[in-house]
Structure 1
Amino acid sequence: MLTFFAALFLLIVGYLVYSKFVERVFVIDDSQKTPAYTQADGMDYVPMSWWKGSLIQLLNIAGLGPIFGAVSGALYGPVAFIWIVVGCIFAGAVHDYFSGMLSLRHGGAQYPTLVGRYLGKGMKAAINVVSIILMILVAAAFTAGPAQLIAQITPLSFMAALVAVFAYFLLAAVLPVNKVIGKIYPVFGAILIFMAIAIAAALLFGSKPIPNLTFENLHPGELPIWPLLMVTISCGAISGFHSTQSPIVARTMKKESEGRKIFYGAMIAEGVIALIWAAAGMTFFGGTGGLQAALASGGPAGVVNEISTSLLGTLGGILAILGVIILPITTGDTALRSSRMMLTEMASKWVDAEKKNVVLIFTVIVATPMFFLSTIDYTFLWRYVGWTNQVVAAVMLWTAVSYLLKEGKAHWIAGVPAMFMTAVVCTYIFYAPEGFAMDYQVSLLIGAVLTVLVGAIYVWQIVRHKQLKLKELTVHSA
């Protein structure tokens, strides 16, 4: 239990201290008008209060991610606490802050546009495809589960429930951000927070102690911690999906100083939620063996339902139903909205993105494959979400590095986590069954070689920018 409290304390300190350091490196300017005012359109660019933006951001980036991922990651034991804390403070929250604030600085630009600006047009073209595929996969993976549960507790069939969910998706994606998302998301965000706090209280006052830190790998299947844990627990530590969601709220901010609370703060809140659910997974079933059996029989949704109803009774059952139905749906609708925003931004040279029929057409274009994929096996989809998600995260961190290098700022705050995530994805794709399924030792070697190559490029860019700065100083002094 001591480890749990220490981890919670560090997350809070991380927000109070490191977020301010990151903000000072970025350098905010509240005298600048934000896109919510300079590009106000009544659709996506609508000023909203920071507290509402924070809750919307939390729900956009969280959903069931920090619950399902943390429960699955708990199979590795208390070492998962380390990844949640370190990953959240130094990687995930930095990633989210820069994805939101760079979007804000560039007129509410979408993630691929930011990538193109700082990493080149070739990378932008590739990441446009990857990020839209990621959002389609996430929305599809998070839609089938709620539809199945709706079919179980109502007279609706699975297909009818699926159609109903996607009807809501279309509504939320084409209406102004303050009409649906701005009104109901803060409420759902509060439910997510309350659910986590209630579970934490039940654990702390329960008879089973939360296990303390051990560096031993407790996974019953003997799967390696590196790099699997860093892909299993993404939401709650670092998730590339967040960089596709941050522009939604960036387009509603009233001033730049709100970014620390909205982007960095929401990520820390998600880390706390992941910490609680990881602790619940390790504790409730009496160890990782019991958790593995529960996951095998009922999946993450079944585990969440069993923990909630057992610890919280009727209230827990209601919360579990709300969580398993509402939270993934809110991830799906913003994924659809972000996809629509990316497509319209890509096509802005040829079409007027403000026209209602254009908004509807682009929404339907991305909703169609989402609907089709939601009818196939959830676990099959989720295998591909993990790696794609972390590739997007690594690219966003390198985008932040490029920005900081050009500005002559402390690039290492994004560079160190960018190198780490590069090592994760380079190793994972060669080892994972959805990748090349190679021998573990061989995968480690290939991942290390690729990471060293990327590191060499990083060092070269540092030297190059220093030479450019020196040349500029020489010219000015002359």
Structure 2
Amino acid sequence: MDALLIMVVSFIGYIFMYQVYGRFIGKKIFKLAQGAEVPSVVMEDGVDYVPTKKEVIFGHHFTSIAGTGPIVGPAIAIIWGWVPAMIWVFFGSIFMGAVHDFGALIISMRNQGKSIADYTSKYVNNRTRFFFFLIVFLELWIVIAVFGLVIAVVFAMYPTSVFPVWCEVAIALYLGYAIYKQGKSIITWSIIAVVLMYVTVFIGAVLPIKMPTIAGIPPTGVWTIVLLIYAFIASTLPVTTLLQPRDFINSHQLMIVMVLLMIGVVFSAFFANLSIVAPAVQMNPAQAPPMWPFLFITIACGAISGFHSLVSSGTSAKQVRYETDSLFVGYGSMLMEGALATLVIIAVAAGIGMGYVTKSGETLMGVAAWTTHYSSWAAAAGLGSKVAAFVDGSANMLAAFGIPASIAVVIMGVFVASFAGTTLDTATRIQRYILSELFDSVKLTALTGKYVTTFLAVGTALLLAFATGPSGNGALKLWPLFGAVNQTLAGLALIIITLYLKDKGGVKWMISGIPAVFMMVMTIWALILNQGSFGTAHNTLLQVVNAIILILAVWITVEGVLRFFTVTPGGEIASEHR
């Protein structure tokens, strides 16, 4: 019953805070206006700038920011206990993450849909803008390479998910054609699309597809190449061709999975004795870094994530049709992600106790199941381990109300792979925007075309992926840096939002200023600790890159603070096109 109580109380809390705190920020802080000019209308081009219904753009935005982030973060951070994980997800998403996502979205919409890295020059200076570009490029470079690997690993672990995931692409292409070319009903045809997708799930359960080794390249390497080629094609197509319809399907898939998980929690609580088997608090788990500050670095998506500011200001700001829609898209999506992270915490803190099969084939129950999987930081930190903890725990809860375990595993495997695919698509498209803006700023206009910039985005990710061999997992060499890089970006985005609000006068800036201080303290603290641990391990590569990130983070923070004290309310930095 403890798991059920956590779910009910937190979900009520998310709904209440959206209606109260979210609407307060939209109306009183950012002063949203229904008739304000927006980039999707003013700069409409049918490719990137496309005015879109808020329900559709919500689906795109949510599936882009979520990916596997709210799964892998809580699935490893639970090692410090479910209480700190749950507190950070709940309060972080409401007071930090949602403010961060919504603020980045609305400021970008008031700056021609430019990325947060690009409009940094307006709110700080050109030097800071260039440094911001470097951090953003590094983050997206790692994301593209790693998420290609994430999907490859899911395909290898759950070959029954391969057929449904690729069928979803074909279904999405037709859905986009039916809606935008034939004028079909979005609701009706999206429901048809989702039904078809779940038909492929049942087919996939009896038709597993295993990638063979090709030319000496193992399956994960082959899949990584295929997925990066797909990312190139998907990110250069108009958003209405694949990105929007696929994300609309995924948003429905999310709703279905979340409903199934909620039903699973209820049934398991009443009929299968679902209870939390993870410790409430565990300050010193074996081999783990200290909870402070690493809890706030490990759980990013689900609480606050810098990557979200890139989605808000990279793709979503170019598609929101009315300024007032931005609250639902930006703030609402983050709270939905918090709800998903809550279900993940329940799955890995309680669901795993309903049955866990060890590598030796032994089935463990209760506390024994949890302690075996989370015996140490190293045991729980692997990519496959994180995914398995969520998929297996969720499948246990779905089985409580009659869904066969084999089908439940496919449903959850497809869910993880589909969301990772959306993040891969979006990250590649955003990297294209970032490179185009960067080349344009240094007058290299010949390199700003979408095919050139996309080739550079995918090509550099491919080089990183295969830097250590044919398995395609080269990006894992830099993965230990990702959490700190991502949360540094979140803190820097909050600094920009704070400067924007400072110019508006009064104490509005505190809405983002207090979260900005917290995030910069946590991330710089983590970067300093990382520098020491990388040095102790004699890992020169990570030590050098981490030092560069640390210097950039401190530099931009100092520049932001100095700028804060020179901003006068009503000054020139908040002059907007409307």
TM range (shorter): 0.7 to 0.9
Deviation at 1:471, TM superposition (A): 11
Counterpart in the other structure of 2:210? 154
Q: Please list the CA deviations of residues 71-110 of structure 1 after superposition, one character each: whole Å capped at 9, or x if unmatched.
A: 1111121221100011101100000001111110001011
1:188 aligns with 2:250: yes
Mark the CA change 1:453 to 1:383 in structure 2 (over 3 Å): closer, same or farther: closer
Counterpart in the other structure of 1:443? none
Aligned pairs for 1:179-258 within 5 A: 179-206=241-268, 207-210=273-276, 214=280, 217=283, 219-221=285-287, 223-247=289-313, 248-258=315-325
Counterpart in the other structure of 1:85? 90
Deviation at 1:327, TM superposition (A): 1.7
Counterpart in the other structure of 1:75? 79
Q: Which amino acid aligns with 1:415?
A: G
1:108 match: secondary structure: coil
Q: Please list the CA deviations of residues 314-335 of structure 1 after superposition, one character each: whole Å capped at 9, or x if unmatched.
A: 3321222213322212111111
Q: Distance in 2 between matches of 1:142 and 1:124?
A: 26
Counterpart in the other structure of 2:228? 166
Asked if structure 2 preserves the Cα contact closer than 8 Å seen for 1:61 and 1:245, the reply is yes
Task: State percent identity of aligned pairs.
Answer: 25
Mark the CA change 1:390 to 1:358 in structure 2 (over 3 Å): closer, same or farther: same
Unaligned runs of 5+ in 2: 160-208, 214-218, 354-365, 399-404, 466-471, 537-552, 573-578
Q: Distance in 2 between matches of 1:28 and 1:46?
A: 20
Q: Distance in 1 between matches of 2:436 and 2:124?
A: 21
Mark the CA change 1:8 to 1:470 in structure 2 (over 3 Å): closer, same or farther: closer
1:226 match: secondary structure: helix
Q: Distance in 2 between matches of 1:395 and 1:346?
A: 18
Counterpart in the other structure of 2:53? 49
Counterpart in the other structure of 1:363? 454
Q: Distance in 2 between matches of 1:12 and 1:190?
A: 19
Deviation at 1:304, TM superposition (A): 2.6
Asked if structure 2 preserves the Cα contact closer than 8 Å seen for 1:430 and 1:436, the reply is no
1:27 match: secondary structure: coil
Q: Distance in 2 between matches of 1:171 and 1:470?
A: 44
Deviation at 1:348, TM superposition (A): 2.9
Please say which of residues 95-104 and 375-384 is displaced more in the overlay. 375-384
2:320 match: secondary structure: coil
Mark the CA change 1:156 to 1:326 in structure 2 (over 3 Å): closer, same or farther: farther
Q: Distance in 2 between matches of 1:322 and 1:261?
A: 26
1:432 match: secondary structure: helix
Q: Distance in 2 between matches of 1:212 and 1:28?
A: 43
Counterpart in the other structure of 1:112? 117
Q: Distance in 1 between matches of 2:45 and 2:374?
A: 49
Q: Which amino acid aligns with 2:514?
A: V
Q: Which amino acid aligns with 2:261?
A: I
Q: Distance in 2 between matches of 1:137 and 1:176?
A: 24
1:348 match: secondary structure: helix
Mark the CA change 1:208 to 1:106 in structure 2 (over 3 Å): closer, same or farther: same
Asked if structure 2 preserves the Cα contact closer than 8 Å seen for 1:340 and 1:363, the reply is yes
Q: Distance in 1 between matches of 2:532 and 2:427?
A: 23
Please say which of residues 374-383 and 15-24 is displaced more in the overlay. 374-383
Q: Distance in 1 between matches of 2:479 and 2:496?
A: 26
- Counterpart of 1:127 (choices 123, 132, 136) is 132
Q: Please list the CA deviations of residues 437-472 of structure 1 after superposition, one character each: whole Å capped at 9, or x if unmatched.
A: 68xxxxxxxxxxxx999999988766654xx45999
Counterpart in the other structure of 2:468? none
1:380 aligns with 2:383: no
CA RMSD of aligned residues (A): 3.0
- Counterpart of 1:390 (choices 463, 466, 487) is 487
Q: Distance in 2 between matches of 1:181 and 1:470?
A: 39
Q: Distance in 1 between matches of 2:345 and 2:78?
A: 5
Q: Distance in 2 between matches of 1:379 and 1:68?
A: 14
Asked if structure 2 preserves the Cα contact closer than 8 Å seen for 1:74 and 1:279, the reply is no
Length-normalised TM-score, structure 1: 0.87
Mark the CA change 1:155 to 1:380 in structure 2 (over 3 Å): closer, same or farther: closer
Counterpart in the other structure of 1:267? 334
Aligned length in residues: 458
- Counterpart of 1:6 (choices 3, 6, 9) is 9
Q: Which amino acid aligns with 1:271?
A: G
